[in-house]
Amino acid sequence: MLFLEPDCMNQPLEADTTARRAILDRLNTRTISAPPLPDVDPSQVITYDDPVQEFLDKLSLVGGEATFVDAAPQAEEVLRQIPVFREAKRVVSVFPEAVPGTMSTDGIDDPHAFATIDWMIARGEFMVAENGAIWIDGNTLPHRVLLFIAQYLAIIVSQSQIVSNMHQAYDRIENYDGRYGVFVSGPSKTADIEQSLVLGAHGCRKLQVIIVRD
């Protein structure tokens, strides 16, 4: 057991700046010539004639499910078909026009308060066809833990909001100025025990994507 004297706490490590200097000096001492940064040529990378179909194929490969609706408010009907949604007691929704939540996040500062939520209803900004991923903008989340702590996750996204590949995806978020964003591709999963795929490692056990036709 090692207990600290109070006065050695809260002291920044003095070596920090010398280490910084030493690392940068060593890097600068040895100049290496290298070619300039390449830019990806858009004509060299795959795009899809039917990106939505490609997205559906890839989403199913990564263990997610998708359903189409004509308007956002029909999303709740889709979820009602799912037994674990019907039984859900605590639902947080950032898209109440589509699916109303059962608990509000207003005034909750401590993310631990969400430890027992069953479903999280999130808003997706756009889909990526090549890998079934959906970009979620952290600014739409009152707490980012909601995406990961919920037992089940639903993402609602507009059908027209789709790109073919990750190059186009990063073009779309080129000037993103939030603090957090994530590409979600399928539910949480692991294959750490003998390469057997198990859905629902730590995060959501199921990912239901609801695509709104527009």
Partner 1 sequence: MSATMLPIVDHPDAAKPFVNDPNRSRWHDQALWFVRSKRDKQAHSIPEWEYLRDCASRIKTHTIANLAGYLEEFEKNATARGATVHWARDAEHHNEIVLNILRQHHTHRIVKSKSMLTEECGLNHYLEANDVEVVDTDLGERIVQLRGETPSHIVLPAIHIKKEEVGDTFHQHLGTDDGASDPSYLTEAARSHLRDKFLAGEVGITGVNFAIAETGGIVVCTNEGNADLGISLPKVHIACMGIEKLIPRQRDLGVFTRLLARAATGQPITSYTSHFYGPRDADSELHIVLVDNGRTRLRESEQFRASMHCIRCGSCMNTCPVYRRSGGHSYRATVPGPIGSVLSPTRDAESYKSLPYACSLCGSCTDVCPVKIPLHHQLLAWRGELVGKKLLPWSKRMSMTMASRIFQSPRLFNFTGSVGRTALRVLPRWMTHNRFNKWTVARDLPEPPKETFHDWYRRHRSK
Nearest one of 128, 149, 143, 146 to 64, comparing CA atoms: 128
Q: Quote the least distance from Cβ 119 to partner 1, whole Å.
A: 16
Nearest one of 55, 26, 42, 7 to 170, comparing CA atoms: 42
User: What is the four-CA torsion angle of 156, 160, 166, 168, rounded to 10 degrees?
Assistant: -140
Which C-beta is closer to partner 1: that of 123 or that of 143? 143
Q: Is 44 left (phi over 0), alpha (psi -120 to 50) or beta?
A: alpha
Is residue 181 close enough to count as binding partner 1 by CB under 8 A? yes
Q: Point out which span in 70-78, 79-87, 94-102, 201-209 binds partner 1 (CB under 8 A).
A: 201-209
Q: Which helix (H) or strand (E) holds 188?
A: none
Q: Record the tokens describing residue 205, joined without a space.
A: 């056990």
Is residue 70 close enough to count as binding partner 1 by CB under 8 A? no
Which C-beta is closer to partner 1: that of 74 or that of 161? 161
Q: Quote the least distance from Cβ 161 to partner 1, whole Å.
A: 18
Is residue 139 close enough to count as binding partner 1 by CB under 8 A? no
Cα–Cα dist 193/31, whole Å: 46
Is residue 184 close enough to count as binding partner 1 by CB under 8 A? yes
Is residue 203 close enough to count as binding partner 1 by CB under 8 A? yes
147-176 positions binding partner 1, by CB under 8 A: 147-149, 165-167, 169-171, 173-174, 176
86-115 positions binding partner 1, by CB under 8 A: 111-112, 115
30-69 positions binding partner 1, by CB under 8 A: 30, 32-38, 40, 44-46, 58, 61-62
Contacts of residue 145, defined as CB under 8 A and 6 or more positions apart, other chains included, come to 111, 114
Is residue 84 close enough to count as binding partner 1 by CB under 8 A? no
Is residue 77 close enough to count as binding partner 1 by CB under 8 A? no
Which C-beta is closer to partner 1: that of 28 or that of 86? 28
In terms of Cβ atoms closer than 10 Å to its own Cβ (0-12, 13-18, 19+), residue 56 is buried
Q: Quote the least distance from Cβ 97 to partner 1, whole Å.
A: 26
- List beta partners, residue 134: 127, 184
Binding partner 1 (rule: CB under 8 A), the pick from 56, 155, 204, 210 is: 204
